[in-house]
Amino acid sequence: MTAPEFFFFIFATITVLSAVMVISSRNPIHSVLFLILAFLNSSGLFLIAGAEFLALLLAIVYVGAVAVLFLFVVMMLNINFARLREGMAKSIPIGASVGAILLVELILVLGAYGFRDADHPVLIAQPIAESGPTNTHALGSILYTEYVYLFQGAGMILLVAMIGAIVLTLRQREGVKKQSVPEQIARRREKTVELVKIKPGQGMGGEV
Amino acid sequence: MLGNLLLIDIHTAFPEIYLALASMALLLYGVFRGDGKAEEVCRLAVILLLGGIYFVYQNQTQNALAFNGLFKLDGFSSYLKILCLSASILTLMISVNYLKLQNSLRFEFPVLVMLATLGMMMMVSANDLISVYIAVELQSLSLYVLAAIRRDTYKSTEAGLKYFILGALSSGMLLYGMSLVYGFSGTTNFDSLAVVFESGTLHIGIVVGLVFMIAALAFKISGAPFHMWTPDVYEGAPTPITAFFAVGPKVAAIGLFIRVMMDPFADLIGQWQQVIILISIASMVVGAFGAIAQTNIKRLLAYSSIGHMGYALIGLATGTEEGIRGIIIYMTLYLAMSIGAFAIIIAMRKSDRVVENISDLAGLSKSHPMMAMAMAIFMFSMAGIPPLAGFLGKLYVFLSAVEAGLYGLAVIGVLSSVVAAYYYIRIIKVMYFDESSEMIDRNRPGVLNTVIAGSSLFTVGFFLYPSPIIAAAGVAANSFFDIL
């Protein structure tokens, strides 16, 4: 067994096992943690397949952002999963039929049925040769030259998303006590401390 | 070498680059000055958008490609860009006062309008499936935020959420269709696609992808049966933003629709013509019958705009130069009529409350004779009564349909416009013959009066001197048929 094969089996086994654990564990937090494990191992699988860019993307986007988001949602919403499961018996027929459709589709795919036929050849982009530049290099070399227009356009979309998030959620709250350092430094003793002579037996003169 | 090429590209796409930079500069200005200066930011945005019109006008050349064929500059895109920019300017002009009175004028509003306009300009200039997607998303995302900008009111947030979810669905369909087209042709570039389809090889996968793309584009122009979101979003969004939805994005989406159908898929007209005819008929019928029962004037105008999109699509269904010219003229006139009608709705307020029921217009002819007359002009024009502008717009698309032999489509168009005339004339009846206890407020800002007067003069006077617009539309339509 070569080293890539060895790692492939390790990654693949852990991916499948943690995927099973995602749907079978009772605690939703555990499910999300297993999901992260599955993502990490599948990014290992991508590494073995030579798609290092995709592997890093999976690790950064799915593990770094999506899974953490899931974790937060699960922890903050405090969903009662036991109650969600109560209606299971009712939805079994729907679930079973969806499963059956997916099974048929899988059989069709594995049975090599395709849209492609000999009369109408289809143009398919050729994969990059083994000795060529790496994925990341190849993407980088066209992203900022050939596709700079789209890259900048995507940047504008992200800007709109950011403005939108701020417009729709940011609220100026009244009465929030914030620390203001300049104000603290600018305070003078004369302005803030007042010496009052209190005669014995009279107190503050009824002001308290 | 690369530097030189990039300079040429920048020159070709200069109006877009200018608008992107201007909107970012305006955003920074707004952030530093705060919401108190929002009115000033709006005014600056109008000036910057006027600058955009100037640059588009300066930049019009015969067909030029930029950024490796991702971006196309031609007469068609230049004409529609000027339309979109004018729509945004007019919207900003009529909305400042209204939003200020409702305490929802924020400096992000003009910035988002500018960014949406940028998306529209990129839409009509797209020459690649990926550019189409990026442009559509840029425009739609800005619109979702604008729809929900009154985030404290239930209706506005509902409108924004509804628009967002259904828009995401249509984006999904668009992407799915594009992926099929790409998978079966091997290219996303419009010119290469046109070459692939010229050879006559056609795969069923392409047709499926094309139908998905048509469905998504029909959603963007709110053509039936993909129109469900329109009345709710129009009703829920603040009125000036509804006015914006009704003009700019519609013009851009129709432009994109024409671009996608006539540029890469022009040789597949046998495949898409029947789909367009179906959407066109459905939109005209839904627009005519859906509006009859409405009591809210914004919902009524939503159905009216669905109907108008149906009429515009007649021109696309012909696939001829006359048809495309007809749509361009139609959209120009539609812009003027809609902005005018919405300006009147914005002016509708009773003792400083916003009212938007049709019955609130009662007695308008006595309290505001000029405003009632302008509204009557817009309604008659939308109904297609000669010699107003709306009649000429319909005339050109119906003529092109008859010339292309699509008699059935033209007949259905005429019949549905007869049905639609009922509810347009009902508004006039309410204004002139119904009595009202409460009058609409007199104090209107001057800019609103200017817009109402300008657009009604345009609507009335268009038939006297239509040649400049018709000639410009002819040049714009010609860019699809002028073989290089």
The answer to whether the CB atoms of A167 and B106 lie below 8 A apart is: yes
User: For residue A161, which residues of chain B lie inside 8 Å, CB to CB?
Assistant: 141
Q: How far is CA B4 from CA A193, B7, B10, B127, in A?
A: 70, 5, 10, 22
The pLDDT of residue B197: 87
The pLDDT of residue A68: 82
Can you tell me the distance from the alpha carbon of A5 to that of B248, in angstroms, rounded to the nearest whole number?
57
pLDDT digits (tens, 9 = 90+) for B310-321: 999 999 999 899
Residue recorded with tokens 């994969």: A127
> What ipTM was predicted for this assembly?
0.92
The pLDDT of residue B484: 47
Residue recorded with tokens 């300006």: B343
Tokens representing B132 are: 């189409």
pLDDT digits (tens, 9 = 90+) for A176-189: 788 888 888 888 88
- Which residues is B353 bridged to in the sheet? B350
User: For residue B13, which residues of chain A lie inside 8 Å, CB to CB?
Assistant: 149
Query: Amino acid identity of B285?
Result: V
The answer to whether the CB atoms of A164 and B112 lie below 8 A apart is: yes
Across all residues in chain B, what is the average pLDDT? 90
pLDDT digits (tens, 9 = 90+) for B50-94: 999 999 998 877 678 888 889 999 989 999 999 999 999 999 999
Tokens representing A202 are: 């009279």
The shortest CB-CB distance from B186 to any of A123, A146, A157 is to A123
pTM, entire model: 0.86
pLDDT digits (tens, 9 = 90+) for A4-25: 889 999 999 999 999 999 988 8
pLDDT digits (tens, 9 = 90+) for B339-348: 999 999 988 8
pLDDT beyond 80 at B352 = no
Q: CA of B28: which chain A residue's CA is closest?
A: A163
A5 CB within 8 Å of a chain B CB: no
The pLDDT of residue A205: 61
- Which residues is B40 bridged to in the sheet? none
pLDDT digits (tens, 9 = 90+) for B281-320: 999 999 999 999 899 999 999 999 999 999 999 999 998 9
The pLDDT of residue A100: 93
B-proximal residues of A, 127-166, CB under 8 Å? 145-150, 152-154, 156-157, 159-161, 163-164, 166
Fold of A1-82: Four Helix Bundle (Hemerythrin (Met), subunit A) (1.20.120)
pLDDT digits (tens, 9 = 90+) for B359-396: 888 888 888 888 899 999 999 999 988 889 999 999 99
Q: CA of B160: which chain A residue's CA is closest?
A: A168
pLDDT band, residue B261 (cuts 50/70/90): very high
Q: Delimit the domains of chain A by residue range.
A: 1-82, 134-168
User: For residue B144, which residues of chain A lie inside 8 Å, CB to CB?
Assistant: 164
Give the number of other Cβ atoms within 10 Å of residue B119's Cβ. Answer: 29
Q: Delimit the domains of chain B by residue range.
A: 2-478
- Average pLDDT in the B257-272 region? 90
The contacts found for B141-145 with CB under 8 angstroms, 24 or more apart, are: B141/A157, B141/A160, B141/A161, B141/A164, B142/A160, B142/A164, B142/B112, B142/B113, B142/B115, B142/B116, B143/B116, B143/B167, B143/B245, B143/B249, B144/A164, B145/A160, B145/A163, B145/A164, B145/A167, B145/A168, B145/B108, B145/B112
User: For residue A120, which residues of chain B lie inside 8 Å, CB to CB?
Assistant: 201-203
B26 CB within 8 Å of a chain A CB: no
pLDDT digits (tens, 9 = 90+) for B95-119: 888 888 888 888 999 999 999 999 9
User: For residue B201, which residues of chain A lie inside 8 Å, CB to CB?
Assistant: 120
pLDDT beyond 60 at B434 = yes
Question: DSSP code of B296?
Answer: B
For each successive 10 residues of chain A (208 residues), what is the average pLDDT?
Answer: 87 94 86 90 89 90 85 77 70 89 84 55 54 79 88 95 91 79 85 81 64
pLDDT band, residue B453 (cuts 50/70/90): very high
The pLDDT of residue B1: 47
B13 CB within 8 Å of a chain A CB: yes
